[in-house]
Amino acid sequence: MSKLDDFRLMFGQRELVPIMIGGMGVDISTSRLALEAARLGGIGHISDAMIKAVSDTKFNTTFVKEKLQRYKFNVANMDKSAVHFRLAELAEATRLHVGKTMEAVRGAGMVFINCMEKLTMNAPKETLAVRLRSALDAGIDGITLAAGLHLNSFSLIEDHPRFRHAKLGIIVSSARALQLFIRKNMRTNRLPDYVVVEGPLAGGHLGFGLDWAKYELSTIVQEVLAWLREQKLNIPVIPAGGIFTGSDAVRYMEMGAAGVQVATRFTVTEECGLPDTVKQEYFKASEEDVEVNETSPTGYPMRMLKHSPSIGAGTRPNCEAYGYLLDANGRCAYIDAYNRALEANPGSRKVSVYEKTCLCTHMRNFDCWTCGHYVYRLKDTTTKNEDGSYRQLTTEHVFKDYQFSTGGQIALPA
């Protein structure tokens, strides 16, 4: 019976265990988690979501406080177009987060960074260019372009000395998105080094509408593989979304995938950045607790636990401190939803906002419990402690379970 370890992900001469742990912002996929994946011979991701806030927590910088101080005059104003990011600070936060992580890499694997292009920061092009360039400067092994993929992002870094050496990948949810990206990027004479094909059962934002259930990962992967074959393009394809066991992964490898990207099973590991109480919520979840809703102001549906504290919270827009989702005109769909709720409830001091969520605030506070569809199976991957809580796993345990399990088995912790 085949196991995932019978396969290798090849990047040129480089041979890796074909397991990529997906990026999970904000600092859910921590450096510790990514470094473990690399130590074990696979690929781990850190994320650059809200990187200045992450830098403050990890490196005692004071970026968030200073930005809030700078824009304090605007806090009560619902027009946030005056709020800007200082590019030098963004670069410094990236240098710290990426640089310190890369210094600590051990083992045969690699560490990539997940860059969600939907974090438009009131200056999409300028801020994305700084994020990508600073990550390359700080020695990241690879960059995965995600959520809101721009068709010409490669051109923002094509003059960077590491443009042709670092691994650059994209996340798509259809063969068409891949075709468009490749066509648009012809000019840079550089193909993506890998393509993550993310299906409808993934965690985080989905590249589908609310009709996500009509799609199937295996069909999309086959379409992508067929198109690449037809074009004689040799780009490793990495399926993601709902791959819960090593045997699920093997099915994709036998289909022609080069590796798999997985995330949900690692949310309950010791190295994952979620608070322990939230990990228990993930363990306890039942299938009925999971929904795909439109509360994310990005415009993409997002999967989360129905009882996430972010849902309905009437948080005052917090863009002076954060503001990562402000579009090129300084707007965010949450601000509009918040204003509508205020208008509908004149005179009330506290409103509930169900339409959208202040995603910056709630992701930062780990109050938006995004998860993959199979989160409700996590309880079957562990044992219980004496106090009735579920036992956290180590990244090594989960990684090796994917790598070596056969017959759909899941190894419980010893």
Ligand X SMILES: Cc1cc2nc3c(=O)[nH]c(=O)nc-3n(C[C@H](O)[C@H](O)[C@H](O)COP(=O)(O)O)c2cc1C
Residues that bind ligand X (CB under 6 A): 22-25, 28, 47, 49, 114, 116, 146-147, 171, 198, 201-204, 240-243, 261-264, 267, 370-372, 374
Q: Are 115 and 142 in contact (CB under 8 A)?
A: no
Q: Are 75 and 53 in contact (CB under 8 A)?
A: no
Q: Which is nearer to ligand X, 16 or 147 (CB)?
A: 147
Nearest to 235 by CA among 188, 207, 198, 197: 197
Q: How far is the CB of 331 from ligand X (least distance, A)?
A: 22
Q: How far is the CB of 209 from ligand X (least distance, A)?
A: 17
Q: Which is nearer to ligand X, 182 or 272 (CB)?
A: 272
Residue 299 token pair: 């415009």
71, containing H or E segment: none
Query: HSE on the CB side for 107, CA within 13 Å?
Result: 18
Q: Which is nearer to ligand X, 235 or 351 (CB)?
A: 235
Q: Which is nearer to ligand X, 149 or 351 (CB)?
A: 149
Q: Which is nearer to ligand X, 273 or 330 (CB)?
A: 273
Q: How far is the CB of 59 from ligand X (least distance, A)?
A: 20
Q: Which is nearer to ligand X, 236 or 372 (CB)?
A: 372
192, containing H or E segment: none
Q: Which is nearer to ligand X, 144 or 351 (CB)?
A: 144
Q: How far is the CB of 364 from ligand X (least distance, A)?
A: 12
Q: Which is nearer to ligand X, 239 or 317 (CB)?
A: 239
Q: Which is nearer to ligand X, 341 or 378 (CB)?
A: 378
Q: How far is the CB of 363 from ligand X (least distance, A)?
A: 8
Give dist(CA 137, CA 107) in Å, integer.
21
User: Exposed, middle or buried by CB within 10 Å (0-12, 13-18, 19+), for 68?
Assistant: middle
Strands (E), 179-336: 194-198, 204-205, 237-240, 260-262, 290-293, 302-305
Nearest to 43 by CA among 217, 182, 169: 169
Q: How far is the CB of 109 from ligand X (least distance, A)?
A: 17
Q: How far is the CB of 186 from ligand X (least distance, A)?
A: 25
Residue 181 token pair: 């990206």
21, containing H or E segment: strand 19-21
Q: How far is the CB of 29 from ligand X (least distance, A)?
A: 7
Q: How far is the CB of 50 from ligand X (least distance, A)?
A: 10
Residues 6+ apart with CB under 8 A from 133: 91, 156, 157, 160
Q: How far is the CB of 394 from ligand X (least distance, A)?
A: 17
Give dist(CA 298, CA 82) in Å, integer.
20
Give dist(CA 281, CA 306) in Å, integer.
11
Phi-psi bin for 232: left (phi > 0), alpha (psi -120 to 50), beta? left
Q: Which is nearer to ligand X, 238 or 337 (CB)?
A: 238
Residues 6+ apart with CB under 8 A from 52: 61, 63, 64, 67, 85, 89, 90, 93
What are phi and psi for residue 16, nearest 5 degrees?
A: -125, 155
